[in-house]
Amino acid sequence: MKIKFTETILRDANQSLIATRMPFSEFEPILETLDKAGYYSLECWGGATFDSCLRYLNEDPWERLRKIRKACPNTKLQMLLRGQNLLGYKHYPDDVVRMFVKKSVENGINVIRIFDALNDLRNIEVAVDEALKNGAEVQGTICYTLSPIHDLESYVKTAKDLKAMGVQSICIKDMAGIMSPKEAYDTVKAIKEAVALPVVLHTHSTTGLGFMTLLKAVEAGCDVIDTAISSFSGGTAQPATETMEYVLRQYGYETGLDTAALKKINDFFKPYRAACLKEGLLNPVVMATDTDALGYQIPGGMLSNLVAQLTAQGKLDKLQEVLEETPRVRKDMGYPPLVTPMSQMVGVQATSNVLNGRYKNISKEVKNYVKGEYGRAPGEISDELKKLVLGDEKPMECRFADTLEPAFEQTKKELGETATCDEDVLSYIAFPQIAEKFFAARDELKKRTFSYNITLCEEDK
Ligand code: CO
């Protein structure tokens, strides 16, 4: 029996625990060991890493990827991609999606995990197609959520649809850490039986279910599990790599992992974890077990957002009402999975409903959602909400991206010399203002280095 591990320290654990603030220089010395540890893949790019590199770390995300590639020639590099939203929060035209995927593979990505927040597969079709064309391994992804319309049957159907698109494996993505061991066992088993593809399970330790959930998933035939090296595991991140390795090895699984390398990796990150705690970058709260999400069936991150929103308005006494309104709003919206950006949309609307009256104010995002701009709602949107937003109009039938003009070539022309390569153009399209600032800082640095070199040469004479 074999079980494979995907290590999340560089992406999801980094994102979930310290808001993706780990600079390349911090993990560079351990890349060689990560490469030798025997992981199935290293999740190291996509998600919030791209935004964070440009916005906070003054790093070129593409260059980061190339450097990781160079340091890790033997391990598959993996990224997370939000389908038609790429790494941002809006829909991009197809030519941009294709170019982004192509360049990701060219710069070193092997495995692309592609998802859509609504599980509307039309929103991942183009990215999947392009990734396959470029020889990447595609993990077709199902966003896991709990609702009266999401059941085993619906997940099996999505898995079959993903298989029909040509994906090489199916990832079950439990972004909120609410999947129980029983649900994991049943879901993995049902999907494995329905589609003969490898199944990957992604969960978070938020509610404390993580280890049990992974173990039962493996018992049901799960092929790959996502874990984080122990010093950056637990809480809102993944269950610990070493713990799962230990347990599964006892059960006779061949993990392929080198435990000495794992220890070295963990020892390397321990002082960094201590520094993050000291600086307040790592808040002990995110490392704790929070079972509230189980009762409310809303993700921990969303719960803390609601508390923050209400506190800012001096209305924390309304929390209970907002928590009761949240599932009603979600029902009205046709049960979207509570993942970005849906969790924010539902939370803000529920808060507004309690503070201002039901649907007195409807946010622009909820209006666009009801119009169909984010894709098809998983269930039926309530008549009341439809009437308020659409009047007598019909929601959009096509993909929102079908209404967008191609943008890559035009942007490239407009940027001129500001962009030094196609990757720059993509960074700009994804995050225009931030990329522009980054380019300016980079140019400034180049000029300075250049004049510094000249000065040195003159002094040499
Ligand atoms: Co995650």
**Selection from 16, 79, 67, 70 nearest residue 42 by Cα:** 79
> How many A from CA of 323 to the centre of ligand 1?
23
> How many A from CA of 419 to the centre of ligand 1?
32
> How many A from CA of 226 to the centre of ligand 1?
9
Mean pLDDT lowest for which of 155-164, 185-194, 440-449?
440-449
> How many A from CA of 383 to the centre of ligand 1?
33
What local confidence, expressed as pLDDT, does residue 451 receive? 59
> How many A from CA of 92 to the centre of ligand 1?
22
What local confidence, expressed as pLDDT, does residue 455 receive? 47
> How many A from CA of 440 to the centre of ligand 1?
33
Has residue 385 got a pLDDT over 90? yes
Which has the higher per-residue pLDDT, 298 or 49?
Answer: 49
> How many A from CA of 207 to the centre of ligand 1?
13
Query: Tens of pLDDT along 162-190?
Result: 999 999 999 999 998 999 999 999 999 99
Q: CA 4, CA 39: separation in Å to the nearest integer?
A: 7
Has residue 138 got a pLDDT over 90? yes
> How many A from CA of 47 to the centre of ligand 1?
9
What local confidence, expressed as pLDDT, does residue 294 receive? 84
Predicted confidence band of residue 450 (pLDDT cuts 50, 70, 90): low
The answer to whether the peptide bond before residue 341 is cis (omega within 30 degrees of 0) is yes
What local confidence, expressed as pLDDT, does residue 461 receive? 37
111-114 vs 169-173, strand pairing mode: unpaired
- C-alpha distances (whole Å) from 98 to each of 136, 159, 393, 411, 432 are 13, 23, 32, 15, 19
Q: CA 298, CA 302: separation in Å to the nearest integer?
A: 7
Query: Tens of pLDDT along 74-111?
Result: 999 999 999 999 988 789 999 999 999 999 999 999 99
> How many A from CA of 378 to the centre of ligand 1?
21
| Cα angle for residues 57, 81, 308 (degrees, 5° grid) | 60
Predicted confidence band of residue 459 (pLDDT cuts 50, 70, 90): very low
Which residues are found with C-beta within 5 Å of the ion, ligand 1? 12, 175
Instruction: Tell me the pLDDT of the chain averaged across its residues.
Output: 93
Please tell me the pTM assigned to this model: 0.93
> How many A from CA of 161 to the centre of ligand 1?
22
> How many A from CA of 277 to the centre of ligand 1?
21
> How many A from CA of 13 to the centre of ligand 1?
8
pLDDT cut 90: percent of the chain above it: 84
> How many A from CA of 202 to the centre of ligand 1?
7
> How many A from CA of 45 to the centre of ligand 1?
13
> How many A from CA of 239 to the centre of ligand 1?
11
